Amino acid sequence: MVYSCAYFENGDEDIDTAQLKKIDHILTKIQVQPGHTLLDIGCGWGALVIRAAQKFGGKCVGVTLSENQFELATERVKTAGLKDKIEIRLQDYRDIPGQFDRITSVGMCERVGCKNLPAYFGKIHELLVDDGIAMNHGITSSDADSGETSFGGGEFIDKYVFPDGELPHIRVALESMQRDGLEAIDVESLRRHYAHTLSIWAERFEANAEQAK
């Protein structure tokens, strides 16, 4: 139920281990410390905020626009006994008040649209304390001129994966970040990790195709 690429640190991990390693990789990279407030924009089913609270001692807020995600993530937080450390909200990130020590956004910016990137990164900047760290994890286009590759990634992706989504080149994303007050201190490509993730997802889907039908 983690809808983004895994992190194969050694290359031989199973998908569940690799997904957990990806979350740990993110939380370690942004240096989450006990007592830090963390906002997860587009929190999905709650895996990142639960891990941040359990292992790193963060006090977390996760926001989503999906009622299904909100309900399951809330239930998962309750089951984990973390209601005092995690709040899941059914809320648009643009309506969030206050500031946070750390901000994560995993697989969210594909849905923002290129013209809205300045507002997106501007809001992240507004929500971040002066010495805070934010981490944006998203799919970017490899075509610097947006020529052969459309912003949406093709017909199938447009229809079934990211309707109305746009995949900016990393140059576009970095320029937008810095214009809106954020300083890029680390950039990492997980493209090969995503290719391996997709391979495993496809194998799992095909192995369970009859049940899915």
Q: Are 73 and 80 in contact (CB under 8 A)?
A: no
- pLDDT of 146 reads 60
Query: Is the per-residue pLDDT at 148 higher than 60?
Result: no
Write down all domains in the chain, each with its CATH number in brackets. 19-208 (3.40.50.150)
What one-character-per-residue DSSP string does 47-101 give? HHHHHHHHHH--EEEEEES-HHHHHHHHHHHHHTT-TTTEEEEE--GGG--S-EE
**Rounded mean pLDDT of 139-149?**
73
Q: How far apart are CA 104 and CA 27, in angstroms?
A: 9
- The Cα-based distances of 197 to 9, 57, 158, 188, 207 in angstroms read 13, 28, 20, 17, 15
- pLDDT of 125 reads 97
- pLDDT of 147 reads 60
Terminal-to-terminal C-alpha distance of the chain: 19
Q: Which of 43-52, 54-63, 140-149, 172-181 has the lowest mean pLDDT?
A: 140-149
- Polymer length in residues for the chain: 213
Average predicted confidence (pLDDT) for the chain: 92
Query: Is the per-residue pLDDT at 158 higher than 80?
Result: no
Query: Is the per-residue pLDDT at 150 higher than 90?
Result: no
User: 145 or 60: whose pLDDT is higher?
Assistant: 60
**Can you give the pTM of this predicted structure?**
0.92
What one-character-per-residue DSSP string does 127-152 give? HEEEEEEEEEE---BS-TT-SSS-TT
Query: Is the per-residue pLDDT at 164 higher than 90?
Result: no
Q: How far apart are CA 120 and CA 118, in angstroms?
A: 5
Q: How far apart are CA 163 and CA 156, in angstroms?
A: 9
Q: Is 155 helix (H, G, I), strand (E, B) or coil?
A: helix
CA 54, 57, 58, 60 torsion: positive or negative? Answer: positive
Continuous segment of H or E residues that includes residue 212: helix 209-212
| pLDDT tens track for 18-27 | 999 999 999 9
Closest to 55 measured CA to CA, from 20, 84, 90, 88: 20
